[in-house]
Amino acid sequence: MIEKVNCAKKAIEFVEDGMVIGLGSGTTVRVFVEMLAEKVGEGLDVVVVPSSIDSHVLAVEHGIRTASLLEYPEPDICIDGADQVDRDFNLIKGGGGALTREKIVASASRKFYVIVDESKMAERLNMPVPVEILEFAYGFVKRKIGEMGCLLKLREGKGKLRPVISDNGNIIADVDAGVIENPGELERLLRIPGIVENGIFLAEMVDGVIVGRSNGAEVLKR
């Protein structure tokens, strides 16, 4: 937990009065929101554009003003977590199922900073890649993924067996491609009709990675 706290503390340093902040999702972002709320309580004036219902509710509960991309189509900065970051700053995101909106908000923002603890850093991306799929297209998408030599697994919720549904009303699945030697190529291959978005966020999107450690945090830039 201390790694997440240190990471969030460092991210707060990038926030300035009057900013519009793209707000990601996840456990590390939750710590960031708690710290941001303290600053707002001290007089900091910011607006956040949440990337999920979860982060929207979290911001409102902490007294932080929220808005949408309709009102602020170009946030000043986006702060979001990641499930894995490789040595070249490519990311896998979407463990929480919010990948589509997260990618939209990150792409819309002038700067995109990723906040992770050091356990999320890897030499190469190697975890399954989340994808958001139109239910209508699932059978076709599964066949195309299989033809690529990869395995598509429908993500199921806990308790009663049922698919995980995104905030957009689509199903979430995961593509196991093994060790990903070329994230750019895989990201391109996953643009299959019926896949709304995939969880590979290429390095060209990322302005910096803030890595939380037990003794502080480090800002890595390309």
Clarify whether 3 is annotated catalytic: no
Please name the residues in contact with 204: beta carbons below 8 A apart, sequence gap of 6 or more. none
- The answer on whether 122 is annotated among ligand-binding residues is no
In b/e form, how buried is each residue of 60-96, taking b as 16+ CB within 10 angstroms? Answer: eebebebeebeebeebbbbbbbbbbbbeebbbbbbbb
Please name the residues in contact with 92: beta carbons below 8 A apart, sequence gap of 6 or more. 82, 83, 84, 125, 127, 129, 130, 199, 200, 201
**Domain map (residue ranges) of the chain:** 2-120+202-214, 129-197
Cα 80 to Cα 96: distance, rounded to the nearest angstrom: 12
- The answer on whether 166 is annotated among ligand-binding residues is no
- The answer on whether 94 is annotated among ligand-binding residues is yes
What is the chain's pLDDT, residue by residue, as a tens digit (222 residues)?
899 999 999 999 999 999 999 999 989 999 999 999 999 999 999 999 999 999 999 999 999 999 999 999 999 999 999 999 999 999 999 999 999 999 999 999 999 999 999 999 999 999 999 999 999 999 999 999 999 999 999 998 776 667 899 999 999 999 999 999 999 999 999 999 999 999 999 999 999 999 999 999 999 987
- The answer on whether 221 is annotated among ligand-binding residues is no
Q: Which of 102, 135, 185, 218 is catalytic?
A: 102
pLDDT for 157 equals: 78
Cα 34 to Cα 206: distance, rounded to the nearest angstrom: 24
- The answer on whether 95 is annotated among ligand-binding residues is yes
Number of Cβ within 10 Å of residue 186's Cβ equals 19
- CATH code of domain 129-197: 3.30.70.260
Question: Considering only CA atoms, which of 93, 91, 61, 72 is closest in space to residue 18?
Answer: 72
Cα 7 to Cα 45: distance, rounded to the nearest angstrom: 22
Q: Does domain 2-120+202-214 have CATH number 3.40.50.1360?
A: yes
- The answer on whether 82 is annotated among ligand-binding residues is yes
Q: What is the DSSP letter of 62?
A: T
For residue 168, what are the CA distances in angstroms to 30, 101, 107, 160? 21, 9, 18, 21
Number of Cβ within 10 Å of residue 205's Cβ equals 16
pLDDT for 158 equals: 73
Give yes or no for a contact between 52 and 93, defined as CB atoms under 8 angstroms apart: no
In angstroms, how far is CA 114 from the centroid of its own chain?
A: 8
Number of Cβ within 10 Å of residue 211's Cβ equals 23
pLDDT for 1 equals: 84
